[in-house]
Chain A
Amino acid sequence: MTFVEARDLGVSYPILTAPARSLKNEILSRTTGGRIAGNSAGRVEVQALSQVNFTFRPGDRVALIGHNGSGKSTLLRVLAGIYHPTSGTIRSKGRVAALFDAAFGMDIDATGYENIVLRAKYLGVPRPEIDRRIDEIVEFSELGDFMAMPIRTYSAGMTARLAFAISTSVEADILLIDEGVSAGDAGFMAKANKRLRSVVDRSPIVVFASHDQGTMVNLCNRGLVLQSGQIQFDGPVNDAYAHYNKLIGAVVTEDLSAQGNLVA
């Protein structure tokens, strides 16, 4: 059965300033006892997540709630297997798909077709399935003959459409969505929303990070409030928002029932 389980999960990483990125300085500071090269060569550890515990099960639509820098994106990247925990454990079962900034990691010199195959190969999609997806992606993105052209000849909107179509063509057990999944012009937006909704609906577990409260309440049934890398609250999404708003001392002025748009 699909699940994700975190036990005392912690992630800390070094912020390396320019002097700390130099091997020459590193050696110099060793030989001089660190006095000349300055205080430990400007190394700062950031505790991005600490003592995080949760279990996600099928049916969970989890909203990650927190202000900038609270650890939402780090948590998503840990769930995606990109960052490794520095303490504690994370266990999961099921195919993970991540919808982050989709245009990131595309090869601008390669054609649209090649980018579809590249991305799919990275995700370990077998060849027959890739071929099936290509048709579907081409149809959805409405790029037609442009698919055989290098991406650098595309307009920003076209690139965004292709990226969106590729990243939402996934079949996953655990779907991770970071905010700012962009899909180009307004005409395309409605279509994109529908598609994103259908991906969300067919994924057993969804973890969503966004600042758009309307969307989150609409889409999720569980909320995790993060502050300074720690979980402050874990429960029904409306209660989570109530807790979060109390936490930041804000008054809820937004209409929670508003039909939020999934795509920014």
Chain B
Amino acid sequence: MKQALLDTIEGLKRGDLWVYLGWHDVKQRYRRSTLGPLWITLATAIMVAGMTVVYGGLFRQELKTFLPLVASGLVIWGFISGCISEGVNVFISASSTIKQLPAPLTVHVFRLVWTQFIYFLHNLVIVPVVVVIVGLPVSPTMLLVIPALFLLIANVTWICLLLGAIGARFRDVPLIVQSFMAALFMITPVLWQPSFLPPERQWVAFLNPFTYLVEIVRAPLLGNAPSLSMWLVTIAMAVGGGACATLLYSRSRAQIAFWV
């Protein structure tokens, strides 16, 4: 346990390494497309437009209120799902490095979260544009997005570490996780909100931990302050999940090099 914590701290201290590696990953992605950085944003923007038209129609929503919901939802979900689906493979895809170079394994987790965060920032550009288009009032409440993002990052980091360790040991887990991602997207309030559901069925949304992760960032982005319970649940998840992940990591840390 102590070793696992030390590893995490040691990993954090190697910030220059994973920041560099993260940028390196992003640059590689730029290189593969002619539009470069713009491509990431454009692809998301097209998706936002398409989803707004289709689901706005299906849910009988006014475009003016639905567009910001979809834009913020898809941008946040892109970050979460990117971290999960890549996170379950985090140690497997770093296997050649793990077997070759001694570095704290948490470095690979931080690198992944950082890379996904850079993509997220690319996509985030869309949200202010949408806010201006639909004429949402700009308020200081929006600054709450900063602490909210910290909480979101803390949560996806432990999820990455946990899934990465399990995925390295059990090779069917990456496949299982990937096949559940689409379902998770549908049952999480990304394109909808719990209030769209009939009251007696809203518990489905509130039992889902991802509801809180999406909502805590979305609310301030659109100028609303998240409720106190929202903050508490997210903090509790970060602490509880972080402890679970550290515990599991401390038990598997020494074996990951053999598994990958």
Binding site for B on A (CB under 8 A): 13-14, 16, 21-24, 26, 77, 80-84, 86, 96, 98, 100-101, 104-105, 107, 109-110, 114, 117-119, 121-124
Distance, CA A16 to CA B97, complexed state (A)? 20
Contact A122 B97 (CB under 8 A): yes
B96 touches A23 (CB 8 A): no
Closest to B3 in A: A84
A107 to B25, CA, bound (A): 10
- Residues of chain B contacted by A104 (CB below 8 angstroms): 96, 99-100
Is A110 a contact partner of B28 (Cβ separation < 8 A)? yes
Q: In the complex, are the beta carbons of B17 and A121 less than 8 A apart?
A: yes
Bound-complex Cα distance A124 to B21 (A):
13
Complex Cα gap A101–B100 (Å): 8
Give the distance in Å from the alpha carbon of A96 to the alpha carbon of B103 in the complex.
12
Complex contact A22–B171 (CB within 8 A): yes
B14 touches A84 (CB 8 A): no
- Chain B nearest Cβ from A95, distance in angstroms: 11
Q: A84-B254, A122-B17, A122-B97 are in contact. Are A114 and B24 (CB under 8 A)?
A: yes
Whether B258 pairs with A21 at a CB distance below 8 angstroms is no
Report whether B254 and A105 are in contact in the complex, using a CB–CB cutoff of 8 Å.
Answer: no
Contact assessment for A23 and B100 in the assembled complex, using a CB-CB cutoff below 8 Å: no
Contact of A22 among B17, B172, B259 (CB under 8 A): B172
Chain B contact residues: helix, strand, loop or mixed:
helix
Q: Whole-angstrom distance between the alpha carbons of A84 and B254 in the complex? A: 5
Given contacts A13-B258, A98-B102, 14 further A-B pairs with CB under 8 A are A21-B169, A23-B166, A23-B170, A23-B176, A26-B170, A77-B99, A77-B257, A80-B102, A82-B101, A98-B100, A114-B24, A118-B21, A121-B16, A123-B101
By CB atoms of chain A within 10 A, which of B14, B170, B254, B255 has the most?
A: B170
Contact with A along B27-46 (1 / 0, CB 8 A): 01001000000000000000
Q: Is the CB of B100 within 8 A of A110?
A: no
- B171–A21 CB distance below 8 A: yes
- Distance from B25 Cβ to chain A, minimum over Cβ atoms (Å): 10
| B228 smallest CB distance to A (angstroms) | 38
Contacting residues of chain B (80-98) with chain A, CB-CB under 8 angstroms: 96-98
Chain B residues with CB under 8 A of A24 = 172
* Complex interface bits, B127-156 against A, C-beta within 8 A gives 1, otherwise 0: 000000000000000000000000000000
Chain B: CB-nearest residue to A12? B258
CA distance A115 to B137 in the complex (A): 48
